[in-house]
Structure 1
Amino acid sequence: MNSLQCISPIDGSVYVERPLATSTQVADAVARSQRAQQDWKSTPLAQRIALTREAISLFSAKETQLAEELCWMMGRPIRYAAGEISGFVERASHMADIAEQALADIHLPVKPGFIRFIRREPLGVVLVIAPWNYPYLTAVNSVVPALLAGNSVLLKHSAQTPLCAERMVEAFAEAGLPAGVFQYLHLSHADTEQLIRAPAVRHVAFTGSEAGGAMVEHAAAGRFINSGLELGGKDPAYVRADADLRHAVETTIDGAFFNSGQSCCAIERIYVHESVYDAFIEQAVALVRHYRLGRPDSAKTTLGPLVRPAAADFVREQVAEAVAKGAKTHIDPADFPLDQPGSAYLAPQVLTGVNHAMRVMTEESFGPVVGIQKVRDDDEAVALMNDSEYGLTAAIFSRDETTALALADRLDTGTVFLNRCDYLDPALAWTGVKNSGRGCTLSTLGYDHLTRPKSFHFKTQL
């Protein structure tokens, strides 16, 4: 196969078709990236920051076009699609704001007769492999700080969202970024593995499935390079007895069903204290019934299709297995006529009577379904939240900040939220534990993974 096709989940049509890069084109791109990086790292940081800000502005100016393309490529309702562009701007701008501080030399206490400091050196060529579900927001986490740090970047996007790679590179080219510093490649899986093995590639930033992360580790084995892996999630929320119930319902349901649940940090399981459980279920079910499943290019749609029919069928199988084991469904798919077997359009679903013997409570769903389980106390909630092979985020809903902080310290996760969920603050480190991956993006710490320390130890008195 010499080309990729983006099949739109809206109607199954071919929305974009692009030729895959040949081995010669890949080799040429790598060589250009290596050459360009040598000059780029010598470009003053202030100039790199100014150019990045111009690229952000040019990218943002195309918001309407970018949102429409996103809607057609991966099915995000058009009423929400522009939010990804504003999120891109927020994250990119913050990383530019903190670049001087994050990349500054580290000066040590004065030692007579010596000059000592540590400089953060760029790694060289950075390969960013981005997924389809949040194609701009996942890519920006690594692309912008990598460029600001003086690296060159090769960007490989999912075959589902090829235009996203093109649009990002276009914005930086329009802003005046030197040729070769930031390039995209449309690649097959096999050619992506080969690129990871290229001697010039010194860091791989991957967002995607566990299987994809394992591929990156296997391909990079023995090369002694860094890799950042943002993988799966089965993120929990705990609603304590003292929570603001209306807020907890609205926030967790949005966290579960936004983007049709296709988010690594979506809320996929909710634990509710027994004293407020019935009220929570009543309000949650009522809210979910207000969703409008439809074509995402319609402004009335609040729930779009999954990325492909197979993804929807996977969720259907999880739900069927849970029901066979005693779970109860609260949403009638007949109320959402577009939900048909074999269709990418899938009705939202709320399940109760669930437990961890069911796949829907332990296996990543990546779809519009959430299981809600009753708990007796904080200890049971924490035990269940930690009973997962994943650890990306976890959310607590409570009015007691002191107790919430104590509970948060007991959770095995990269981020703990209180009274919110499913949001990346670019000032905070974005990281995961267990099978959710390793490494860190965003915040000042994100720059540490895209640079290496170089020590300078000068004796000045002989």
Structure 2
Amino acid sequence: MKEIKLFINGEFKNSSTGETFESIDPCTGELVAKVHNPSQEDINDAVEAAHTAFYSKEWSEMTRERRSEILLTISEKIKERKKELIEEEIKDSGSTFRKAAADVHNTSAFFKVMSKVAATFNFEEIDAKASREGFSKNKRQYTPIGVCAQIIPWNFPLVMAGWKIGPVLATGCTTVIKSAAETPVTASILAEILKESGVPNGVVNVITGGAKEGQALISHPKISKVAFTGSTAVGKIILGESAKTVKKTTLELGGKSPNIVLDDADLDIAVDGALYAFLYHSGQACDSGTRLLVQEGIYDQFMAKFLTRIEQISIGQTNDKNTGFGPVVSEKQFNTIMRYIETTKKEGAKLLFGGERITGEGFDKGYFIRPTAFEITPSNTIWKEEIFGPVVGVTKFKTEEEAIALANDSIYGLAAAIWTQDENKANSIASKLEAGTIWINEYHLLNPGMPFGGLKESGIGREMGVEGILAYLEVKHIWESDCNTREGKMWFDALF
């Protein structure tokens, strides 16, 4: 069993109160780690360490080349500890081996991308259009925003830690990052890697905990920016707290993403894509395609293939490399999902598949829910509300216009997908969908060079891409006069 301590100012420390809690394997019910819960004093210490580090010469005057080297070293060390990280991510989060392996790879790759950003991003640039010879030189200067409070969710613990910490190091900010109480292990291992890679003390501090600890962190007066990934309900609370002192805030929140299958789609690809869209990581992804819209001309044929393939999903133990579908993260999440399933049944929606707990040898101690599909309408609760579990609602539509209207009938706007063999049609529909990421004949895949984030109540701001870097920078306009005689500065005469 691991012991997860607080990582503050480059050192692993016990909680000042001695308070700890346990992290449980959602597949087996076994104890994974004893975790130190931070006190208000610990959180203050972490923020002070980040504040001191931000203004230290070691960090503030570090060259971009050195920051780039550190980021690349982090990427390499993640690869070196791949086996350990996969094993711990499986036990702590309920990820399957396949998912955990992909997460480790993607996190390493992201730090490599951030290494290139640190080396090549133009932190100061003269604007040739704004400047005029003999009058002024006008330039933009990008400077690090300051001390950040970053709060990550339990569904992609290592990836989300990377997404948050990478831009901090690339831009010269500092941070206190709070991992989710359910999944604190790999963020702690990442802290070890950061220290070994040459990140100065205090630049990145790692704590864990729940809502109380998150509140204490984001409300600290020395925090300049808040970055949160999680539910829309919590995001609204954080936005309200940040507004009190006008902290810069980025939020990546919930989703209820539409997945549109047109009647000219390749059915074999679209069926497997639809299953992947809502069952990846047992449906515990904010961009999951949980509203499946199928055109009436192919509806019966599509659903016949869909129900055949859903029975073939590889359900098993998370450490088995052949397993494609595992448990949900906790008993709390299990109970939430089952309540949604029971509510949908009571509302009279047609249950197409699943809808119950998986039991039997190897499953009784874990939080396994059978992949579940309902036939629903916009009146159903699960049309509107995010479940965060392996449940999809299927809805038939007639025309493309109807599909667009149904897709946009949501408070969320995180992601969407279109399945068709007509590229022009796909792009036309994509331009009308209210979502931050739209896939055509694909799902879930992301590119670190492109922005990710949501419209409407799915969030504010973006992660990854240039937009994700700018979120950690303040921009200054520096006006340098190119008019160097008093006679030339006739505007001064307004006073005389």
Contact 1:67–1:81 (CA under 8 A) maintained in structure 2: yes
Is 1:138 the counterpart of 2:155? The answer is: no
CA–CA distance in structure 1, aligned partners of residues 312 and 210 of structure 2: 40
Counterpart selection for 1:422 from 433, 444, 448: 444
Counterpart selection for 2:109 from 78, 90, 100: 90
TM-score, normalised via structure 2 length? 0.88
Q: Write the deviation string for residues 176-222 of structure 1: whole angstroms up to 9, x where unpaired.
A: 11111111123442232122121211111100112221221232222
CA–CA distance in structure 1, aligned partners of residues 413 and 356 of structure 2: 35
Is 1:21 the counterpart of 2:38? The answer is: yes
Q: Which residue of 1 aligns with 2:296?
A: 274
Q: Write the deviation string for residues 14-44 of structure 1: whole angstroms up to 9, x where unpaired.
A: 2111222233322222222112112313211
Contact 1:439–1:449 (CA under 8 A) maintained in structure 2: yes
Stretches of structure 1 lacking an aligned partner (at least 5 in a row): none
Q: Which residue of 1 aligns with 2:95?
A: 76
Q: Which residue of 1 aligns with 2:85?
A: 66
Shift of 1:457: 1.4
Contact 2:327–2:369 (CA under 8 A) maintained in structure 1: yes
The range that moved more, 126-135 or 215-224, is 215-224
Count of matched residue positions in the alignment of Structure 1 and Structure 2: 461
Contact 1:249–1:284 (CA under 8 A) maintained in structure 2: yes
Counterpart selection for 1:30 from 43, 47, 51: 47
CA–CA distance in structure 1, aligned partners of residues 119 and 141 of structure 2: 12
Q: Which residue of 2 aligns with 1:364?
A: 386
Q: What SS is found at the alignment partner of 1:337? A: coil
CA–CA distance in structure 2, aligned partners of residues 378 and 426 of structure 1: 31
CA–CA distance in structure 2, aligned partners of residues 421 and 292 of structure 1: 19
Letter in 2 for 1:28: D
Question: 5 Å matches for 1:400-415?
Answer: 400-415=422-437
Contact 1:413–1:433 (CA under 8 A) maintained in structure 2: yes
CA–CA distance in structure 2, aligned partners of residues 103 and 169 of structure 1: 28
Q: Which residue of 1 aligns with 2:75?
A: 56
Is 1:252 the counterpart of 2:274? The answer is: yes
Q: Which residue of 1 aligns with 2:195?
A: 173
The range that moved more, 77-86 or 95-104, is 95-104
Q: What SS is found at the alignment partner of 2:338? A: helix
Contact 1:309–1:342 (CA under 8 A) maintained in structure 2: no
Shift of 1:5: 2.0
CA–CA distance in structure 1, aligned partners of residues 35 and 127 of structure 2: 52
Counterpart selection for 1:215 from 237, 241, 254: 237
Question: 5 Å matches for 1:38-437?
Answer: 38=55, 39=57, 40-109=59-128, 110-113=131-134, 114-332=136-354, 336-338=358-360, 344-352=367-375, 354-437=376-459
Counterpart selection for 1:8 from 19, 25, 32: 25
CA–CA distance in structure 2, aligned partners of residues 125 and 277 of structure 1: 52
Higher Rg of the two aligned structures: 2
Letter in 1 for 2:93: M
TM-score, normalised via structure 1 length? 0.95
Structure 2 CA distance for partners of 1:197 and 1:335, relative to 1, 3 Å: closer
Shift of 1:316: 2.5
Stretches of structure 2 lacking an aligned partner (at least 5 in a row): 1-16, 486-496
The range that moved more, 232-241 or 186-195, is 186-195
Letter in 2 for 1:306: V
Q: Which residue of 1 aligns with 2:3?
A: none
The range that moved more, 22-31 or 446-455, is 22-31
CA–CA distance in structure 2, aligned partners of residues 324 and 182 of structure 1: 48
What's the Cα RMSD here?
Answer: 2.1
Q: What is the percent sequence identity of the aligned residues?
A: 27
Shift of 1:104: 3.0
Structure 2 CA distance for partners of 1:432 and 1:200, relative to 1, 3 Å: same
CA–CA distance in structure 2, aligned partners of residues 127 and 306 of structure 1: 27
Structure 2 CA distance for partners of 1:123 and 1:332, relative to 1, 3 Å: closer
The range that moved more, 189-198 or 419-428, is 189-198
Q: What SS is found at the alignment partner of 2:238? A: helix
CA–CA distance in structure 1, aligned partners of residues 30 and 224 of structure 2: 38
CA–CA distance in structure 2, aligned partners of residues 117 and 359 of structure 1: 52
CA–CA distance in structure 2, aligned partners of residues 243 and 332 of structure 1: 26
Q: What SS is found at the alignment partner of 2:114? A: helix
